[in-house]
């Protein structure tokens, strides 16, 4: 087993940051968290997308959650950002990630009187899986920009997203994916018009710095085997993931957030919100996959109002 330590990153600790030990089948590693604020009734653990992006693109929460009185925790999942990055493919499985979240919860002292779990994109997959395994520890759940079925997501990509692309560009994207030739910057350039329509609705050169920084730090050694090479549908280990039939089992208050222009079908998001016994849907009419930026007022006010209502 090759193990890459985060030597040189310890200077990021401080100001509420801590490295939490996590026990795995491949040994003990450390994951990074950072706490902001204090609220005995609302403690929000933020799970980033990817798999294995970083918390950095969520930095915009600093502009809204403190004023709303929310206590919140940034968190880089194992393999991501400031957390340890073991080169151990056996660790990149959903149940192992769920167990990691539970260990983080215990270390932070979160429980049913205060613990809200937020998951954006891949983080939404992980949040639902955690709730199905450990909802007794939750006070509430937030699912942001994540369909509850990868087969349904791929069908939406085929029927709604791919037809919008330039046919020649789409053909070249698919050729490169079939050949495993996706590391060339030209591959990303082919996808950029799709990303500017459905991931963040502004020219790429205007994307906020935290988004650019977070996307640049994606650990592709984990992202590609689990998600696939791009945001134009999903493949890899997540290909058959589908929890639509299990959502009725999650009884805690649940907020589902979707965007009209998201890579995720907004009608699916609205429907699955109704599948949770205590579900509520927040629609961002101008939003895409990163609606916290391109429909910011709707997204942030809707999230903070919902959290306040659960306190």
End-to-end CA distance of the chain: 45
Q: Is 121 a catalytic residue?
A: yes
Say what the pTM is.
0.94
Nearest in space to 132 (alpha carbons), one of 164, 94, 88, 160: 94
pLDDT at position 11 is: 34
272: left (phi over 0), alpha (psi -120 to 50) or beta: alpha
Question: How confident is the model at residue 231, as a pLDDT?
Answer: 86
CA distance 211 to 8: 23
Domain boundaries, the chain: 2-152+238-310
The distance between the two most distant Cα atoms of the chain, rounded to a whole number of Å, is 55
The catalytic residue among 261, 289, 294, 295 is 289
Specify whether domain 2-152+238-310 bears CATH 3.40.50.1820: yes
Percent above pLDDT 90 for the chain: 89
Q: Please provide residue 113's backbone torsions phi and psi, each rounded to the nearest 5 degrees.
A: -85, -10
Catalytic residue (choose from 84, 99, 262, 265): 262
| Nearest of 227, 242, 301 to residue 272 by alpha carbon | 242
Query: Are 161 and 129 a contacting pair, CB within 8 Å?
Result: no
- Alpha carbon distance 238, 225 (integer Å): 9
Distance CA 168, CA 171 (A): 5
Tell me the three state secondary structure of residue 98: helix
What per-residue confidence (pLDDT) applies to 183? 87
Which of the residues in the chain have pLDDT under 70?
A: 1-15
Return the pLDDT at 3.
28
Catalytic residue at 289? yes
Q: What residues contact residue 293 under an 8 Å CB cut-off, 6+ apart?
A: 60, 200, 202, 208, 211
């Amino acid at each position: 087993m090759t193990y890459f330590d985060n030597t040189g990153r310890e200077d990021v600790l401080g100001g509420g940051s801590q490295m939490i030990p996590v026990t795995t089948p491949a040994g003990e590693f450390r994951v990074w968290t950072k706490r902001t604020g204090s609220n005995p009734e609302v403690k929000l653990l933020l799970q980033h997308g990817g798999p294995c992006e970083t918390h950095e693109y969520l930095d915009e929460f600093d502009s809204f959650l403190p004023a709303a009185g929310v206590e919140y925790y940034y968190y880089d999942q194992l393999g991501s950002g400031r957390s340890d990055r073991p080169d151990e493919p056996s660790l990149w499985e959903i149940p192992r990630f769920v167990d990691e979240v539970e260990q983080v919860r215990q270390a932070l002292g979160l429980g049913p009187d205060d613990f809200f779990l937020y998951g954006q994109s891949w983080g939404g997959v992980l949040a639902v899986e955690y709730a199905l395994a450990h909802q007794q520890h939750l006070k509430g759940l937030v699912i942001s920009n994540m369909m509850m079925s990868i087969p349904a997501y791929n069908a939406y990509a085929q029927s709604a997203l791919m037809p919008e692309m330039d046919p020649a560009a789409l053909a070249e994207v698919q050729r490169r994916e079939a050949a495993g030739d996706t590391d060339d910057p030209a591959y990303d350039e082919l996808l950029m018009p799709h990303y500017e329509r459905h991931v963040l609705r502004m020219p790429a050169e205007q994307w906020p710095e935290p988004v650019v920084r977070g996307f640049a730090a994606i650990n592709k050694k984990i992202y590609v085997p689990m998600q696939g090479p791009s945001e134009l549908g999903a493949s890899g280990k997540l290909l058959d993931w589908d929890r639509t039939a299990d959502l009725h089992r999650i009884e805690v208050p649940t907020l589902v957030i979707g965007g009209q222009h998201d890579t995720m079908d907004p009608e699916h998001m609205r429907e699955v919100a109704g599948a949770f016994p205590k579900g509520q849907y927040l629609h961002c009419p101008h939003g895409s996959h990163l609606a916290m930026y391109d429909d910011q007022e709707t997204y942030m006010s809707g999230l903070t109002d919902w959290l306040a209502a659960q306190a």
